[in-house]
Amino acid sequence: MEEKETKQIKEAIEEMKKKPAKLEVLKTPNIYERLLNISNDLQTVAKNLEVSMGKNGKYKAVGEADVLRAVKPLELKHRVYSYPVEREIIESGTLESVDYNGNAKKQLFERIKVTYRFVNIDKPEEFVDITSYGDGIDSGDKSVGKAMTYADKYALLKAYKMVTGDDPDQEASNELKSVEAKPKHDQKLLQEAFELNIELEKVATYFKKSVEQLTDDDLKKAIAQKKKALGGTKNA
């Protein structure tokens, strides 16, 4: 009996030697599978941002912080890195609007185009780009920041198909006396000023003007001074 079992074992070993071992290749998810997995894992995003409506009270909205809190742990889990790879100012000007109290006021307006990139960390050459747009309106110097925040937030919301309960089509917009933002400067100059972190409010204060009164020559001088200052810093 033992001889028979020994013979069977030897035959099995010989048979295994004839067949090359097959190495199992573990398949790693591609970028589309990772985005899908994150989208499926995401729950409804909480509305923790309170937006004031003046005398008409306030309402709850989804803020950028709410979106980031929901997305960051899942991007870590599924090994995806997302970031704004490119920003571009496509429109800039001033608007005369009516606030919730019926008062007319002038505000700075910026419209920014953002390309948001989602990268497969395990294969960095594999990525997906999402284009998003953001508008920012502010009486001070925060219109650009607001536009960037809005564009970044909606790039994440749409890429991951996040449910917020908000539907812009069901809400009426505030009436504007002038809804057309007329660019007052050469767009290339505005883009260059934006990239150099030049704030129009500060430039206007320097030239003792309002932002609306700034000319392209004023912007050119401000850009030249900023470049000179940066050059001096590098040479120091």
- From first to last of its 236 residues, what are the pLDDT tens digits of the chain? 566 666 666 776 677 666 655 555 567 899 999 999 999 998 777 666 655 545 555 656 678 888 998 999 999 999 999 999 999 988 888 877 665 566 667 778 889 999 999 999 999 999 999 999 998 887 777 888 888 999 999 999 999 988 775 555 445 555 444 444 444 567 777 778 878 878 777 777 788 777 667 788 888 888 888 888 777 555 44
Candidate CATH numbers 2.60.120, 1.25.40, 3.30.300, 3.30.390; the one for domain 27-183? 3.30.390
**pLDDT score, position 59:** 58
What is the domain partition of the chain in residue ranges?
27-183, 184-236
**pLDDT score, position 16:** 65
Helices 64-78 and 31-41: crossing angle in degrees, nearest 10, is 130
Residue 154 token pair: 């909606």
Residue 135 Cα to chain centre, angstroms:
13
Give which of 83, 85, 87 is closest to 195, Cα–Cα. Answer: 87
**pLDDT score, position 48:** 62
Residue 63 token pair: 């803020």
Residue 70 token pair: 């929901």
Give which of 158, 176, 174 is closest to 166, Cα–Cα. Answer: 158
pTM beyond cutoff 0.85: no
**pLDDT score, position 50:** 59
Provide CB contacts within 8 A for 53, sequence distance 6+: 59, 100
**pLDDT score, position 22:** 55
